[in-house]
Amino acid sequence: MRKIEKGHYGYIRARKKTLLIRTMILFLGVIILLAMGFALTHTKKNLLTVAAIVSVLPAANQAVVLFALLPYHGREKEEYESVRAIVPNGVLNTELILTSKNDRSMPIDYAYVHPTGLYCFSFDSKLDIPKTEQYIRTMMKTNHLNTHVKIFRDFKQFKKRLGELEPIDRNTCEEKLLKIEGVLRAISI
């Protein structure tokens, strides 16, 4: 199975599966270390117990990311294909969960990077659109990129707006657009 990269269709599902497997293996390793230490020495005070305790940290780290992703689901294939049909070779990202130190996660279902701006769509009714737009603008400015940011909540309006834009090709677009995409992916889980 090939790895699905951040921003591509199917990423959330694949990432959850990978994190679940890693978390289970790491916690199983902790249990095995504890059991071996107790079986060999007949006491909890041994070096394998120390190794097990230290091994909890990477396992917990994987579990935290998994729990952060659990509430989110990828989009339907037909829906994704309908958006992809509008911008076939454009700089389109999907299934992004933006993270911030101060706020809750901000799910962005689709993000289209265009020379005229960054056009996003989110199904999340709890998403604070002005705050999210400002956060994205701030992160772009921090990386010396200046772009217009617009987040839609109405899917038909989003698709209509994409259809109105001049088509671009990922392979021949400005490098700035790929940098904007990179920042967007960097601030996502």
Per-residue pLDDT for 2 more than 80?
no
Is residue 1 scored above 70 in pLDDT? no
The per-residue pLDDT for range 91-117, each reduced to its tens digit, is 999 999 999 887 788 999 999 999 999
Whether 121 and 172 share a structural domain = yes
Q: Which band of pLDDT confidence, cut at 50, 70 and 90, is reported for residue 180?
A: very high
Report the pLDDT value the prediction gives residue 86, as an integer from 0 to 100: 95
Distances (CA, A) of 69 to 10, 62, 108: 13, 11, 13
Three-class HEC string of 62-97:
HHHHHHHHCCCCCCCHHHHHHHHHHCCCCEEEEEEE
**Residue 94 sits in the same domain as residue 179:** yes
| Number of domains composing the chain | 2
Rounded mean pLDDT, 58-71? 93
Task: Identify the pLDDT of residue 100.
Answer: 85
Residues 63 and 92 in one domain: no
Residues 91 and 181 in one domain: yes
**Around Cβ 20, how many Cβ atoms within 10 Å?**
15
In a domain? residue 3: no
Q: Which domain holds residue 175?
A: 77-186
pLDDT at 132 over 60: yes
Average pLDDT over residues 122-141: 94
